[in-house]
Homo-oligomer: A and B are copies of this chain.
Amino acid sequence: MVLSRHLDERVWLLNRQGKAAIAASAQGHEAAQLACIEATDPSKDHYLIYYRQFAAMMALGTEPEEMLRGFLAKTDDPMSGARQFPLHGAHPRVDLFNFSNVIATQLPQAAGVALADKLKGSDAVTVVFFGDGASSQGDTHEAMNFAGIHKLPVIFFCENNRYAISVPLEKQMGVESVASRAVGYGFPGVQVDGTDVGAVYEVTNVAIERARAGDGPTLIEASVERLLPHTTDDDHTRYRSSEDIVQMLNRDPIRILAELLKRRGQLTDSGDEEIHALAKKRVNLATDTVDAEPYPSVESMFDHVIDSSGGHS
């Protein structure tokens, strides 16, 4: 979590330096992402992420160098070879992917992935991440409806940070909670404090067990804060009040967790500092390494448009 935070901060710095074209940050979402992943089994489960899944990708074993290659558009970007925005493409080691920037397309795709597992008799679970903004899309409805009918092993994990770029929740929906929609599809919808690692782990665990047992989907809505503007191209002081910003900063999951551990005596101040120092060092190392790496060749952009073998099974 701390490493993810430091690397995330570094990426914004690299953007300000003109090295990274664009970045969306997971700052504020880390606890939700990490705790959710913790309850899953990366050796068989599937993860359909979206652009804000920085911490989730790290939790799934992506190295800092690999993360940076995406942002710096280096040839060895593991997700897409620098064809796509950072975090887009498919992971080489775990079944984590994010085909596009187009909001909510991943939800029907997740239902399809889960359908295939059901047909294969696999007990793998598909976790699909999305924001509150994505909940407005027709695809979200269609995906949940289908998953409900077929009791598919899929977890709809909504990171509700109350904003779709600048559009606040009350302009996105006539209700308070995304989770309230689950009743309309015939499966449980749960709201959880997304800054609370324990709570998120618990509800995800229940959902995973339910899914593996063949009992169908769960919609989890984790309330989180988007600590930074939407992306490096945004300035949220244009549309967030200063009270909103102050309150939001109080819900930083890293501070919350550190304070909790300290209260419990599981973390000392110096231990905390050491963790941060180590993370910083790791980030520096990765930055130096990746900075020196090559960019993709022009020729490689012609690869993989369609199956060059002629494409027959």
Residues of A at the B interface (CB closer than 8 Å) are 136-142, 145, 148-149, 151, 170-175, 180-181, 183-187, 216
A154 CB, min distance to chain B CBs, angstroms: 13
Q: Write out the residue numbers on chain B whose beta carbons fall within 8 Å of the beta carbon of A174.
A: 145, 148-149, 151, 185-187, 216
Chain B residues near A187 (CB-CB < 8 A): 174
| Stoichiometry, copies per complex | 2
Docked CA distance A145–B149 (Å): 22
Q: Please give, as numbers and ranges, the residues of chain B lying within 8 Å of A145 by CB-CB distance.
A: 136, 172-174
**Residue of chain B at shortest CB distance from A140:** B141
Identify which of A145, A151, A183, A184 gathers the most chain B CB atoms within 10 Å of its CB. A184
Q: Which residues on the B side are within 8 Å of A185 (C-beta)?
A: 173-175
Residue of B nearest to A148 (CB): B174
Subset of 18 A-B contacts with CB under 8 Å:
A136-B145, A138-B139, A138-B142, A141-B141, A141-B142, A145-B173, A145-B174, A149-B171, A149-B172, A149-B174, A151-B174, A174-B187, A175-B183, A180-B183, A180-B184, A181-B181, A181-B184, A183-B184
List of B residues within 8 angstroms of A138 by Cβ: 137-142
Residue of B nearest to A142 (CB): B138
User: Please, which residues of chain B bring their CB within 8 A of the CB of A148?
Assistant: 173-175
Select from chain B the residue with minimum beta-carbon distance to A178.
B184
List B contacts of A216 (CB < 8 A).
174
Q: Which residue of B lies closest to A151 (CB)?
A: B174
Within 8 Å CB of A170, what residues of B? 149
- A181–B149 Cα gap in the complex (Å)? 15
Beyond the given pairs A136-B142, A149-B173, A151-B174, 9 more chain A to chain B contacts, judged by CB atoms under 8 angstroms and listed by A's residue number, are: A138-B139, A141-B141, A145-B174, A174-B187, A174-B216, A175-B184, A175-B185, A180-B184, A181-B184
